[in-house]
Structure 1
C-alpha cells in the first residue's frame, strides 16, 4: 500500500515533529531545520516497487542534515536519486557542493554525512535504491554521489518519465510487476549515468579507463561462466593480465574480487526477485558459483544473512511498510 503523510492532518504545533518522523521513516534518520517561522506545510507520499521505493516530497523551505551519529547503527547503504520539480536544491557531501534545478537529478549516499536543502517551497521525486541493487547494474556506484545529471533528454529523460508513469499506474500492478518495474527503473538510471564523461573518467587516465569499462562490461556479461577468470578477461580485452590487474588496483579492488562481488550482487538480486523460482543452488550456479558452501559463506559475509534468509525476507507478505 502507498504511504501518505500530510502536515495538514496535524495541529500546527505538532507539524514539524510529525514531518521529521515521516521523513526519517521513509528515508533514514535525519536532523531537520525549518526555514522561517511561518506555519510549516508538507506532504510526503511513498510507493514500493520491489527492492526500491519512490517518494514524492512537497514542502516549504527545508534543511536536512545527515550526521555521523546517524550512521552508527545503519548497516545497509542506500542511494537517493533526487529529481526536483519545483525550485533549485543544494546538496553538500564529501567536500562537494552541488546545486540542481528542475530538469536535472542528483545522487546522494546514505552512508556519508551530508546536507540537503531548498530555500523555497519545493516538490521532489526521490528514488531510494539499496546499494546491493545499484551495484548489480553499476560498478562502484559511489562514483555517482554528488554528481548532477541531465533529465531533459535521452535516457535521463526516459528514466524520469517512467518514474512518474509508474506511480500514476501503480495500483494496476501485481507485486511481481512492481518488482519488475523497479528493476527497469534502475536499468534506465544506469543507462543515464554510466555514459556520463565524469563517471567514465574516474581516477584513471582515458586509456586505462577505456580498458576498465571494457573489462567491467565483459565481466558483467559473463558472470554465469564458471570459467571466467582474470586471465580470460585480460584476453578478451586484448591486454596483459598484469596490466589488467594494475588497472583494477588503481580502483582499490582486484579483478577476482570484482568478479566475485558482481556475482554476489547478481545472486542477491535474483534471490529477492519473486520471478526467479529456481533453488538457491541453481541461482548460485547460474551466477558462476560452482561450490554451494563457498557461495553461502561469501554471501553471508557480504550481506549479513544467509541466502535462504534473504529469499524468505523477500517473500514475506506485503505490509505496505518501506524498508529503511
Structure 2
C-alpha cells in the first residue's frame, strides 16, 4: 500500500511519480487540481499477474519512448474504470472511458491518460508473452473503450472487480490458477474485439468499393479516369485502392475498360436513324485511341465495332449476344 497521506505536501507529486513508476511501469504524472495531491495505490500479485487499485486526484499520465526504454519487459494491461472518467490515447486512437468501462493498452508503445477529476481504477498487468495473442490483434484493441453493459465485457467486469478486491487473500497455488484464468479471459476479450473491428473494417471496405464503382460509372466518359484519379477523388492511396479490390475478381483498370466496352456495345447495338459514328461512340465513353478501342472491342465481342453494329441491326434488338457474355467473363478472369 502506497499513499501520499503522510508525505509532506511539497513532496507528494515526486513521491507519487516514483510510486506509480516502480509499481506499474515508468510514467510521468502531472496533477491538474489545486492544493496538495492525494493518491493511494494498492498492489498484489497473483502469480505473474499484477493487480493494482489506484485512487487519485485529477491528473495526466504519459508514457513516452524514453520511459519505455527504462522498462524492457512488455506488459498488456487492462484498466477497469471504477469511478470518474478518463481520456485515453494510444496507437493514434482516442477513447473516452466512462465508469464501468474497460480499456486495453500495451506498455511497449507510448500512451496518454487524462483524468479530469478524482477517480479510481483497477489495473491488471500481464506479461505479453503469456497471452499467446498476435501483436496485430492487440493493436486493434488498444486505444478503445470497451462497454461492459453487454457482450463479453459484461461477464468480465464483475470477475475482475471481485478479483481486485480479494487478490491478497489467495494462496500461491490458487493465485497461479486464477492468473491462468485471467489470461484465458483476456485472450477471449481480444479475440472478440478483433472480430468486431474486422467486421467494421469489412463493412467500410464494402462501402468504399460501392462508392468507387459508382464513381467509375459516373465518369466513364472522362478519358483521364484512372486508378490514380479515383484514389485522389476518394482521398486514399492507389495502393489501398488496389487492396480493397483484391476480393472483387478484377482490377480497377480492367473494371474501367470493361464498363466502357459495355456502354459502347449497348450504344452501337441501339437502332437509330441518326446513329453516331463508331469513333464518336468510343470517344463518348472515354476511348481516346481508335485503334486501341477496336482491339479491345474485338477481344470482348469477337468482332469489330462496325461488324457488331451491323449484326445487332440485322437481329433487330439491342441485347448483347453470346460473344459479349463470354468476353466479359474473360475480362473478369484476366485481371492481372
How does the TM-score come out when normalised to structure 2?
A: 0.56
* Residue 24 of structure 2, aligned match among 21, 24, 27: 27
CA shift in 2, pair 1:191/1:86, >3 Å: same
- The within-5 A match list for 1:213-232 is none
Q: Which residue is 1:17 aligned to?
A: 14
Matched residue SS, 1:194: helix
Residues 50 and 126, structure 2, Cα contact 8 Å, conserved in 1: yes
Does residue 92 of structure 2 align to residue 110 of structure 1?
no
Residues 35 and 61, structure 1, Cα contact 8 Å, conserved in 2: yes
Kindly state the Cα deviation for residue 204 of structure 1 after the two structures are TM-superposed.
7.3
Residues 143 and 202, structure 1, Cα contact 8 Å, conserved in 2: no
- The within-5 A match list for 1:95-134 is 95-134=92-131
Residues 78 and 103, structure 2, Cα contact 8 Å, conserved in 1: yes
- The within-5 A match list for 1:165-244 is 165-196=162-193, 199-201=196-198, 205=202
Q: More displaced, 155-164 or 111-120?
A: 155-164
Q: Which residue is 1:83 aligned to?
A: 80
Aligned length: 205
Kindly state the Cα deviation for residue 157 of structure 1 after the two structures are TM-superposed.
2.5
Matched residue SS, 1:196: helix
Which deviations, in whole Å up to 9, do the C-alpha atoms of 1:89-139 show, x marking residues without a partner? 011122211111012111111111121111100011111111112235987
- Higher RCO (C-alpha 8 Å, min separation 6): 1
CA shift in 2, pair 1:95/1:139, >3 Å: closer
Kindly state the Cα deviation for residue 202 of structure 1 after the two structures are TM-superposed.
7.8
Kindly state the Cα deviation for residue 205 of structure 1 after the two structures are TM-superposed.
4.6
CA shift in 2, pair 1:199/1:131, >3 Å: farther
Larger radius of gyration between Structure 1 and Structure 2: 2
Q: Which residue is 1:149 aligned to?
A: 146
For residues 86 and 142 of structure 1, the distance between their equivalents in structure 2, rounded to whole angstroms, comes to 26
The answer to which structure has the higher helix fraction is 2
CA RMSD of aligned residues (A): 2.6
For structure 1, list consecutive stretches of 5 or more residues without a partner in the other structure: 207-324
Kindly state the Cα deviation for residue 154 of structure 1 after the two structures are TM-superposed.
3.9
- The within-5 A match list for 1:245-284 is none
Does residue 43 of structure 2 align to residue 51 of structure 1?
no
Which deviations, in whole Å up to 9, do the C-alpha atoms of 1:276-323 show, x marking residues without a partner? xxxxxxxxxxxxxxxxxxxxxxxxxxxxxxxxxxxxxxxxxxxxxxxx
* Residue 66 of structure 2, aligned match among 52, 62, 69: 69
CA shift in 2, pair 1:156/1:138, >3 Å: farther
Residues 81 and 107, structure 1, Cα contact 8 Å, conserved in 2: yes
Kindly state the Cα deviation for residue 47 of structure 1 after the two structures are TM-superposed.
1.0
